[in-house]
Amino acid sequence: MEKRTFGTVDELPSGSFRARYRGPDGRRHAKVFSTKADAWAWLAAQQTDLLRKSWRAPSARSRTVGDYAEDYLARNDLRSSTRVLYAGLWRHHLTKPWAEVPVDEVTPAAVRSWHVKAGRTTGPTAVAQSYRLLRAILNVAVADEAIASNPCRLRGAGTPKASRPSRALTAAEALQLAEQLGRDRRTERYRALLLVLAFGGLRFGEATALRRSDILPGGRIRIERSVRRVEGRWVVGEPKTDAGHRTVTLPAAVTAVLEEHLEKHVAAAPGALLFSTSTGSYLARSNWNSTFRRAANAIGLPAVRPHELRHTGATLAAATGATTKELMRRLGHSSPAAALLTSTRRTIAMPRSPVHSTPCWPEHMSHP
């Protein structure tokens, strides 16, 4: 056994070398290495951590990313739909490369390498979501002082890269799309949905979770739930943020279309879905996206994504002179930055509505 000023190294019968020292927790810590030099280097690193006051018990460091992921997914503050989403991301994109890796062995270089490889076989949205989940899991390890800092440091990796910048539709474009949907008996039931998304600024999951009982007098819509399809089943839960619980007032012309929609396409029961398929089931985002794109192509609309209807609603509201606080309340955002980002895609001049924070229907256009 060889002893220096800090710790000891002794050779084992197997020919390996065991480094040992007593930590500030009063316990003896040990690790086995194939060479004596590696054993002393490890002891030197432990001594350096002690001097810098960054030492952590090796027992805490030995927990794997998978251990922390299991704890993270079991948190009671996750919405059920979020838990299902995270479980799927962990299972499909993170388990194989990270489950067995000790948290103190996850390096920025390893994260960068994984991110590059994942981007070759996985869509940008799934990669961004998986990166955000990995970062959140490792943040818990940082809070536990198992690691000194989070190795997930890739700038912009948590945001999927769009093929082009988002833009808001003009009011005229939104009306044209609604009219196009109304021309076909197979899609006329989605005319009101498009107008509510475009002039109300709702998220798709919020709109498709609405029920007859959520329609209030005065053109108001009460939003208190959201729906999404995860792992082949519908999951109904809370809105995306606490601020998502809100009431949105629609322009009078949109309200008139919505009332007609209630008469023609919605069952009389209070719990009947407001926007559903012809069979009364939840509307899948993929089906809506296809319907939307066909209508956009039919009227020769420049490239536009269905989600940009929400940007449209935000921009129209901002153009009426709504304050940041009013935009936050209308869009269900919990931060001013998110509300401003959503509403600044493209500026459209709209007259101020007599209804607080509600965009007017353009006077020069016919009501649908």
Residue 225 has φ and ψ, to the nearest 5°, of -155, 170
pLDDT band, very low/low/confident/very high, at 340 (cuts 50, 70, 90)? very low
Cβ atoms of 12 and 32 within 8 Å: the answer is yes
pLDDT band, very low/low/confident/very high, at 2 (cuts 50, 70, 90)? low
Parallel, antiparallel or unpaired: strands 220-223 and 226-230: unpaired
2-55 under CATH 3.30.730, yes or no? yes
Higher pLDDT, 85 or 364: 85
Cβ atoms of 250 and 221 within 8 Å: the answer is yes
Question: pLDDT value at position 359?
Answer: 43
Cα 245 from Cα 247, distance rounded (Å): 7
For the segment 93-143, what is each residue's pLDDT rounded down to a tens digit? 999 999 999 998 899 999 999 999 999 999 999 999 999 999 999 999 988
- List where CATH 1.10.150 sits in the chain: 65-143
pLDDT band, very low/low/confident/very high, at 333 (cuts 50, 70, 90)? low
Residues 6+ apart with CB under 8 A from 364: none
For the segment 188-232, what is each residue's pLDDT rounded down to a tens digit? 999 999 999 999 999 999 999 999 999 999 999 999 999 988 778
How large a percentage of the chain has pLDDT more than 70? 87
Question: pLDDT value at position 163?
Answer: 62
How large a percentage of the chain has pLDDT more than 90? 54
Residue 79 has φ and ψ, to the nearest 5°, of -65, 155
Cα 42 from Cα 222, distance rounded (Å): 61
pLDDT band, very low/low/confident/very high, at 354 (cuts 50, 70, 90)? very low
Closest CA to 256 of 96, 119, 353, 366: 366
Question: Is the pTM value of this prediction over 0.85?
Answer: no
Class of domain 171-343 as given by CATH: mainly alpha
The amino acid at 186: R
Closest CA to 94 of 156, 144, 138: 138
Cα 342 from Cα 337, distance rounded (Å): 9
- List where CATH 1.10.443.10 sits in the chain: 171-343
Cα 330 from Cα 314, distance rounded (Å): 8
Enumerate the H helices of 22-169 as residue ranges.
36-51, 58-61, 65-73, 80-89, 95-98, 108-121, 124-143
Cα 165 from Cα 311, distance rounded (Å): 12
CATH architecture of the region 65-143: Orthogonal Bundle (1.10)
- List where CATH 3.30.730 sits in the chain: 2-55
Tokens in use for 316?
A: 């129209």
DSSP bridge partners of 230: 233
pLDDT band, very low/low/confident/very high, at 58 (cuts 50, 70, 90)? low
